[in-house]
Amino acid sequence: MIPPLILGGGPAGAAAAIVLARAGTPATVIERTRDTGDALCGGFLSWRTLDALAALGIERNRLSRDRITRLRLFAQGRCIESPLPAPAIAVSRRHLDSLLLGHAAALGTGVERGVAARTIDSRTIRTADGATLTPEALFLATGKHDVRGAARPAAARGADPTLGLRQRRAPCATLDRLVGDAIELHLFDRGYAGIARQEDGSTNICLAVHRSRLEAAGDPARLLAVLAAESPALGERLSAGDGGAIEAVANVPYGWRATRGTPGCFRLGDQAAVIPSLAGEGMGIALASGASAAQAWLAGRDAAAWQRGFARRAARPLAIAGAVRALAERPLLAAPLLALAARSGLIHVIARATRIDHPAH
């Protein structure tokens, strides 16, 4: 039997690799891509996530020297601003993943790229090139990509599944002025858009939208045009700068948690729990699950028991984020509450309540 194997080289897999390597048990990471890409992601790193990254050896100034200090929220022509509980940043996944996986490799982790897993049976992996691998422990960290035999249930997607859309805009003085040091949320019927400036000066525009809206519009470009007409502030941002291709990911199962485990297999990141993206805690869950699972395996804990425990830890943040998302996708109801939420401090309460606890490394 081979040593621990980590399937996926994103933040969850890299966090597990770093913790294992520091303990003197370097694992092997198998990553399906040959080069580190810019995964479709909002890229928001909260103050808690930045602390977790620092504990893993990635200081925030290596990620970005810019800071996000405010939340700006738009709905039905209304706009409110609220300071964040502490400064955050936005960063491209290409940059974040390169730093984390590079750090893991420097600590002795083996990294094999361009190797795709085709099926998983318990903790036995069959790769596209015909190899069969049965590691001592499997850390499943494939993010939004499911592997046959270990796929998340189709029922988790719901009757009107959520799609993720993303367009990155090149550095632009207009977007610098409009967005500035804020993370923006633009609410619209059956979805929302998150906008933030990243470490290289580009602006990341990420949308979570139900499939029914895309079907009604016809295609992603037409959908963006419809949303721009509905929401002038969003339209102003979509019209600024040079936009690249519109990327998409289907069937994002927001609210899903892995409540049952398999002996020897630890499900990490989006394979463990999928929090609505408006919470800005997806990366936090990825890092927390990776580090916690590695510590559990080093301590000899059962994988299934760890999975149940992590599902309990994630339950409250996911439930609160799910309730906020349900309201956000009905902007006619949400808009009148914006000013009250800002004045009462409710936004701070929600921001803190949707964070997940991180283990000590």
Please report the pLDDT score of residue 282 as a whole number: 97
Query: Hey, is 82 helix, strand or coil?
Result: strand
Q: DSSP secondary structure string, 104-138?
A: HHHTT-EEEES--EEEEETTEEEETTS-EE-BSSE
Contacts of 322 (CB under 8 A, 6+ apart): 254, 255, 276
Cα-based angle 273, 151, 109 (whole degrees, multiple of 5): 70
Please report the pLDDT score of residue 242 as a whole number: 85
Domains detected in the chain = 5-156+253-353 (3.50.50.60)
109, two tokens: 């982790």
On whether the CB atoms of residues 141 and 268 are closer than 8 A, the answer is yes
Pick from 280, 209, 227: nearest CA to 48: 280
Please report the pLDDT score of residue 358 as a whole number: 82
Pick from 87, 102, 92: nearest CA to 31: 102
Q: What is the pLDDT of residues 68-82, one digit of tens each?
A: 999 999 999 999 999
Residues of the chain with pLDDT under 50: none
216, two tokens: 């009604």
Q: What is the pLDDT of residues 254-297, one digit of tens each?
A: 999 999 888 999 999 999 999 999 999 999 999 999 999 999 99
Residue 289 CB-density burial (10 A; 0-12 exposed, 13-18 middle, 19+ buried): buried
Please report the pLDDT score of residue 30 as a whole number: 95
Helix and strand element counts for the chain (H, E): 13, 16
Please report the pLDDT score of residue 1 as a whole number: 59
Separation CA 127–CA 133 (nearest Å): 8
Q: What is the separation of C-alpha 253 from the centre of its chain, rounded to a whole number of angstroms?
A: 12
Amino acid at position 304, single letter:
A
Q: What is the pTM of this model?
A: 0.95
Separation CA 329–CA 37 (nearest Å): 30
Say what angle helices 282-298 and 11-22 make with each other, to 10 degrees: 30
Please report the pLDDT score of residue 361 as a whole number: 60
Amino acid at position 110, single letter:
G
Please report the pLDDT score of residue 261 as a whole number: 85
